Amino acid sequence: MDRIRIRGGKILNGDIQISGAKNAALPLMIASLLTGKTLTLRNVPRLADVNLLLRILRNHGVDMTVDGKRAGEDGSLGETIHLSAATIADTTAPYELVSRMRASFWVLGPLLARCGEAKVSLPGGCAIGTRPVDLHLMALEQLGGKIDIEAGYVVAKAPNGLKGNRVVFPKVSVGATHNALMASTLAKGETIIENAAQEPEIGDVAACLVKMGAKISGIGSSTLHVEGVDELKGADHSVLADRIETGTYAMAAAITGGEVTLKGARADHLDSMIAALRQAGVRIDVTQSAMRISRNGNRLYPINIETMPYPGFPTDLQAQMMALMTMADGVSTIRETIFENRFMHVQELARLGAEISLSGDTAHVKGVHKLTGAQVMATDLRASVSLVIAALAAEGETVLHRVYHLDRGFERLEAKLQGCGASVERLAAA
Ligand code: EPZ
């Protein structure tokens, strides 16, 4: 397995182009199942999760082509993919594929809505928590789906099509909102989704569905109104900028000091993180199409944060913020309210010299004057990148193992950091 070696202590200066958001690209690709016409997606990040989902979609019968390089392109703006599900050849999403990526479970709603049946493996637990799917199933049942669990599979049927209804989520779920929204576009009549997740990635999918002919209002709010249509058409859509990647590089720049411009960043999707970084003493200048992060020798102040559904502080930036706070001048408190087991980075950060104590869902991070390089292990996507952030500031050499976690969600990570002066290199598996 590949490893990444980081020699810490280099100040970051330069520009980083922000990629398309993984968590928008995946559901956008799944939306191609809703139509027989071609969905063109631009700015799709080159990620292992995208490739895996392409395999899953191919298994359902989706044809796909990827544009080659065009004159003047340097490959920094993602790929253009054309997806065409003229006929759905197979409505089963098998365990071997779904178990490798949870988001693939989201094919359930679109397949059921379009084909009147779907059989999708239960995704099972994962490193960050148990992650049940009860809310997905509840929503699809409210839309008239008949759901059974058979031998580890969700078997859903709606032979006469789905019917619009009021879907009230007792708890905010990004994935269940995606599933309900996509399914309801083809349901008969009106659907009202209440307590919907408001993450910008849902707004991006909703905007694409509207281009495909769906009738959706309330986009960006917690109540979505959908008037079902008989069929959707093709569309051309560019994936929005990745706010989690943006936040990750903002914290990398903040921990090393220096000045980094994040090109294409959507600061308007990062209010809670920007507020927290400013409180920590990091300077952030926002322009229409970029964010400049700078810290020039001044101290880092400790902060207290709690992860929350959007627009609260994102759980997907919790580990990175913790890495930053290991170098703050005082004790920070970080509470994780979304996933019950999303602190696996704590032990690995401790290997670099961080002082962190855990009490239930809360971590107390006592800032230290220096971190020291060590061998560390990636456990999940965001935990891994928090170790990269800490390693950039650590004295000496850090080697990160199990890099495949990073490749699931960060496009050209080494190149982007190297471009700002970091010493980061991939060591290929022996
Ligand atoms: C999405 O996961 C993201 N994944 C996650 O990003 C992100 O951490 C999460 O939303 C929260 O923001 C993608 O977009 C592909 P949820 P999702 O359903 O949809 C509970 C990353 O690193 N819940 O909003 O699976 C659940 O256990 C990934 O890129 C139920 O109880 O998250 C959790 O506690 C990791 N029943 C909470 O809701 C359900 O049926 C929020 O989960 C569904 C969820």
Mean pLDDT of 357-384: 96
Confidence of residue 126 (pLDDT cuts 50, 70, 90): low
- Counting residues of the chain whose pLDDT is more than 70, the rounded percentage is 98
Q: Looking at residue 297, what is its pLDDT?
A: 82
Helices and strands of the chain, counted as H and E runs:
14, 24
Tell me which residue has its CA closest to atom 20 in ligand 1. Answer: 131
Q: How far is the CA of 68 from the centre of ligand 1 (A)?
A: 33
What distance in Å separates the CA atoms of residue 365 and residue 348, rounded to the nearest whole number? Answer: 14
Q: Confidence band (pLDDT; 50, 70, 90) for 324?
A: very high
Question: What pLDDT band is residue 89 in, cutting at 50, 70 and 90?
Answer: very high
Of 195-199, 237-241, 404-408, 423-427, which gets the smallest average pLDDT? Answer: 404-408
Going from the Cα of 316 to the center of ligand 1, the distance in angstroms, rounded, reads 10
Residue 128 has pLDDT above 70, yes or no: no
Q: Which atom of ligand 1 is nearest to the CA of 135?
A: 40
Residue listed under structure tokens 């930053």 = 324
Mutate to test the pocket of ligand 1, among 26, 47, 131 (most ligand atoms within 8 A of CB): 131
Average pLDDT over the chain, rounded to an integer: 96
Residue 378 confidence (pLDDT): 86
Query: How many angstroms separate the alpha carbon of residue 128 from the centre of ligand 1?
Result: 10
Q: Which residues pair with 157 in a beta bridge?
A: 117, 146
Ligand 1 centre to CA of 175 (Å) is 6
Task: Tell me what pLDDT residue 74 has.
Answer: 76
Name the least confident of 65-69, 168-172, 184-188: 65-69
Mean pLDDT of 379-397: 96
Residue 341's pLDDT band, with cuts at 50, 70 and 90, is confident
Q: Which residues are annotated as catalytic?
A: 126
Atom of ligand 1 nearest to the CA of 380: 22
Residue nearest to atom 21 of ligand 1 (CA): 316
Q: For position 322, what pLDDT does the model report?
A: 98
pTM, two decimal places: 0.97
| Residue 367 scores a pLDDT above 80 | yes
- Of the CA atoms within 13 Å of residue 27, those in its CB half-sphere come to 27
Please tell me the distance from the alpha carbon of residue 20 to that of residue 428, in angstroms, as a whole number. Answer: 26
Q: Would you place residue 235 in the very low, low, confident or very high pLDDT band (cuts 50, 70, 90)?
A: very high
pLDDT recorded at residue 69: 87
- Please give the distance, rounded to the nearest whole angstrom, from the Cα atom of residue 174 to the centre of ligand 1: 6
* pLDDT at residue 36 greater than cutoff 80: yes
Give pLDDT, residue 379: 87
| Position 162 confidence tier, pLDDT thresholds 50, 70, 90 | very high
Q: Looking at the predicted structure, is the pLDDT value of residue 76 above 80?
A: no
Q: What is the mean pLDDT of residues 28-46?
A: 98
Which residue's alpha carbon is nearest to atom 44 within ligand 1?
Answer: 173
Query: pLDDT digit string (tens) for 43-75?
Result: 999 999 999 999 999 999 999 999 998 888 877
User: Residue 366 corresponds to which tokens in the numbers above?
Assistant: 């006592």
> What are the tokens at 268?
């308007």
Ligand 1 atom index nearest CA of 381: 22
Q: What is the pLDDT of residues 248-302, one digit of tens each?
A: 999 999 999 999 999 999 999 999 999 999 999 999 999 989 999 999 888 999 9
- The token duo for 82 is 């054309």
Distance of CA 129 from the midpoint of ligand 1 (Å) = 10
Q: Mean pLDDT throughout 392-396?
A: 98
Please report the pLDDT score of residue 20 as a whole number.
98
Q: Which atom of ligand 1 is nearest to the CA of 171?
A: 38
* Residue of higher predicted confidence among 82 and 100: 82
Q: What residue type is assigned to position 74 of the chain?
A: D
CA atoms within a 13 Å half-sphere pointing along the CA-CB vector of 197: 26
Band (pLDDT 50/70/90 cuts) for residue 365 is: very high
Residues at CB less than 6 angstroms from ligand 1: 23, 26, 102-103, 129, 131-136, 171, 173-176, 197, 315-316, 338-339, 381-382, 409
Q: What is the DSSP letter of 86?
A: S
Residue nearest to atom 26 of ligand 1 (CA): 131
